[in-house]
Amino acid sequence: MTGDSPRVRGLADGLAPVLQTLVDECPPGRALDVATGTGRNALALAARGWTVDAVDISRAQLERARARERNRVQSTADRAAGAPGTDINADTDTGTCNWILADADRYCVPERQYDLVTVSFFDARNCLSALIDALAPGGCLWVEHYLESPADESVPADRFRLEPNELLAACSELTVIHYTERRVDGEPRVGLLARNERDSSRWRPELARSDLDGP
């Protein structure tokens, strides 16, 4: 990937373009990745210096995420040493990712602790209020999920999909930086980035809505 732009690298290692733009504009902090799966968001953030609590209910998924982290750390060490095959300690629990086996809907999230909370393709309606409370002053919430499309018979009914504007209404106490409902590869999706405005000094004020528009 040498020579690729930051946006292209972001697509390759998992971050949505909107989230990539935000991360590029702020210093690393503490993040919570909800329903992390194989660690798409968590590993991309950790690679940029973030300390990430990554929660998932599946032990198998977390083991895959741990394996991906070990591979990433090993590859980084190999490149730095110029000697592929170098043996290193890749214990991610003492690194930048803390893999947590828990049901996200029941996990006791600490309040006002996270500079960034990410939720990708998980129905977080049951825990969204707790996730908002978990934001530190100036912290941001990123949610991307599938959207209902009642008029489109090609999309099967699914109670786990969000209704149009449902996410926007649920995050009304936050300052919305970016919101979109659109089709991606024919699939209706919603994306929201919102900030806790109790103290926004952490985030650059010039990071306006226009800066975050993108796929």
The answer on pLDDT for 27 being more than 80 is: yes
> 70, 91 in Cβ contact below 8 A?
no
The answer on pLDDT for 204 being more than 80 is: no
Q: Take residue 197 and report the two structure tokens written for it.
A: 């405005």
Q: Which of 73-82, 137-146, 172-181, 184-193 has the lowest mean pLDDT?
A: 73-82
- Average pLDDT of span 155-174: 87
C-alpha of 129 from chain center: 17
The confidence score (pLDDT) of residue 71 equals 85
% of residues, the chain, pLDDT over 70: 73
C-alpha to C-alpha distance for 32 and 30, rounded to whole angstroms: 7
Q: Which of 28-37, 54-63, 100-109, 150-159 has the lowest mean pLDDT?
A: 150-159
- Average pLDDT of span 34-42: 96
The answer on pLDDT for 214 being more than 80 is: no
The answer on pLDDT for 201 being more than 50 is: yes
Find the angle CA(71)-CA(76)-CA(81) to the nearest 5 degrees.
125
The confidence score (pLDDT) of residue 137 equals 96
The confidence score (pLDDT) of residue 206 equals 41
Predicted confidence (pLDDT) per residue in 60-112, tens digit: 999 999 999 988 777 766 666 665 554 433 333 334 899 999 999 999 999 99
pLDDT band at residue 212, thresholds of 50, 70 and 90? very low
The confidence score (pLDDT) of residue 153 equals 58
Question: How high does pLDDT run on average in the chain?
Answer: 81
Q: Take residue 84 and report the two structure tokens written for it.
A: 């592929």
C-alpha to C-alpha distance for 141 and 176, rounded to whole angstroms: 9
> 118, 69 in Cβ contact below 8 A?
no
pLDDT band at residue 203, thresholds of 50, 70 and 90? low
Q: Take residue 158 and report the two structure tokens written for it.
A: 């699914």
The answer on pLDDT for 5 being more than 50 is: no
- Structural domains of the chain sorted by starting position, each given as residue range(s) with its CATH number in brackets: 6-212 (3.40.50.150)
